[in-house]
Amino acid sequence: MTPNRSQNAESQNARPQGARPDTDLIMVCTPDIAGQLRGKAMPRRAIERRREIGVGWTPTNVMITAFGPIAPSPWGALGDLMLRPDFSSEVDLALPDWGLDESFVLGDLLTLDGAPWECCLRGQLARALERLERDHGLRLIASFEHEFHYSDAEAQPGLGYALRALRRLGAFPNRLMAVLDRAGLELDTFMPEYGPGQCEVTVAPQPGLRAADEASILRELTRATARGLGARASFAPILDPNGVGNGVHVHFSLQDREGRPLSHDPAAPEGVSKPAAAFLGGIVRRLPEMVALTAPGVPSYLRLTPNRWSAAFNNLGSQDREASLRICPVFGTGLSAEQHAGRFNFEYRAADAAASPHLVLAAIVNAGLEGLDEGLPLPTVTTQNLAELEPDALAALGRERLPTSLAAALDRLEAGTWATRAFGEVLVEAYRRHKRAEIDLMKELSPEELCARYALAY
């Protein structure tokens, strides 16, 4: 699984100088615990002056939930941070005929002395990727598959993946592809998904940090494109307790420092190389804990149930779309060994868009790092429906049911030491407070009301 192009140091989609008035605003954004992009805007004339110092930020902002109230903050009103823009992530699109005018850039949260702040999720991912290369000589390539619901589609059950379903989405699919293309994302696929009004969009794989940046950009531009058509796009984990959920599936593979693929070994079990096997072993081991980070909404666990084509166990599968982690098939005939190795990749499926893509990928890398550090073997590939096994049989396989609620997932995260070792005490404590407050906000809601709240938030 190789990236199809390199990323320039500066934005690939920036407009010619002077194309915008220098009073126009560009928003500097940070991905946060609530799965939102938040930030502060500055006029374009201030870019050079603020390129290094960025804009001011407050630690407690990370405690803002997706629903309004602020979770109990460890910092209160104290403290200051810098939010410094990284212009390799810049989006600058002015498409007035489509009701779309987007100018924003992702950035990093730093302390006043310029050190990375522990609760900067973009920084957490960057540090995990740096350790992956420093300690093991490996780089991660990834791509995020996003499912979402488009509000302005005429619903009719039974049209999953149908041409008629694509037709009912009207101008939206083609417009979205044009918008993503102009923003510098390399297009891959779009499909009308199984549920009425449900869609899936994918872009090409990129190096780890850029992949997470593009996932954030894709979500925002999808929402903006829908809004320009007078509609809404929702990435909520599930919109109807009895309906189809929206997952985020993360495809990834490993390369060496020179960009050569390292995930495949035709002589190894399942074709998985020794470093990739250890990486996968770490993920399978930590799945019951890390799911609190990758599926962090209260209704996420309505989706993560057996026999719903989602993920319910800490297992590695092959050609199994119920596995939380799977070895993906390689498509194409007559491939050279190099081509086969370049397409060989894995898929993490226990995630949704209530999570920041940067935190999802940081969790995957940190769990994989543990496997590499310990030289874990490849987990046994499961070949049966684990939901049909009795608990004793499941335990004999070394597998277990993933937590069935966000509260239970947080219990698992808090009971162990992996998260603190991987992310540090500051982020883990902030995350714990944030998500416990979110659970408390939702506790009186029916499943239908719960889904409706998340549909608006995401």
Residue pLDDT, tens place only, 419-430: 999 999 999 999
**Cβ count near 42 (within 10 Å):** 18
pLDDT > 70 in the chain, percent: 96
Q: Is residue 18 part of a domain?
A: no
Tell me the per-residue pLDDT of 141-196, one tens digit each, with 9 for 90 and over: 999 999 999 999 988 889 999 999 999 999 999 999 999 999 999 999 999 999 99
Q: Is residue 2 part of a domain?
A: no
**How many angstroms separate the CA atoms of 205 and 131, rounded?**
21
pLDDT > 90 in the chain, percent: 92
Computed over every residue of the chain, the mean pLDDT equals 95
CATH of the domain at 302: 3.30.590.10
Q: Is residue 128 part of a domain?
A: yes
Q: Is residue 214 part of a domain?
A: yes
14-23, 43-52, 101-110, 199-208: least confidently modelled range = 14-23
With a cut of 60, say whether residue 447 has pLDDT above it.
Answer: yes
Q: How many domains does the chain contain in total?
A: 1
Tell me the per-residue pLDDT of 81-109, one tens digit each, with 9 for 90 and over: 999 999 999 999 999 999 999 999 999 99
What's residue 157's pLDDT?
Answer: 87
Distances in Å between the Cα of 301 and the Cα atoms of 238, 277, 403, 416, 447 are 9, 28, 8, 21, 11
- Buried residues in 145-182 as b, exposed as e (16+ CB within 10 A): bbbbbbebbeeeeebeeeeebbebbeebbebbbebbeb
What's residue 155's pLDDT?
Answer: 84
Q: Quick check: helix, strand or coil at residue 257?
A: coil
Please give the average per-residue pLDDT across 108-134, as a whole number.
98
Q: Taking each helix axis from N to C terminus, what angle separates 357-374 and 121-136, rounded to the nearest 10 degrees?
A: 30
Q: Is residue 7 part of a domain?
A: no
Q: Identify the band that residue 3 occupies on the pLDDT scale cut at 50, 70 and 90.
A: low
Of residues 53 and 17, which shows the higher confidence score? 53
**How many angstroms separate the CA atoms of 312 and 348, rounded?**
12
**How many angstroms separate the CA atoms of 104 and 216, rounded?**
11
With a cut of 50, say whether residue 121 has pLDDT above it.
Answer: yes
Q: Is residue 20 part of a domain?
A: no
Tell me the per-residue pLDDT of 40-86, one tens digit each, with 9 for 90 and over: 999 999 999 999 999 999 999 999 999 999 999 999 999 999 999 99
7-16, 33-42, 177-186: least confidently modelled range = 7-16
pTM given for the model: 0.95
**How many angstroms separate the CA atoms of 82 and 57, rounded?**
6
Q: Is residue 8 part of a domain?
A: no
What's residue 2's pLDDT?
Answer: 61
**How many angstroms separate the CA atoms of 176 and 367, rounded?**
34
Tell me the per-residue pLDDT of 376-410, one tens digit each, with 9 for 90 and over: 999 999 999 999 999 899 999 989 999 999 999 99
- Whole domain around residue 310: which residue ranges? 25-457
> What are 378's two structure tokens?
């490849």
What's residue 20's pLDDT?
Answer: 87
What's residue 13's pLDDT?
Answer: 45
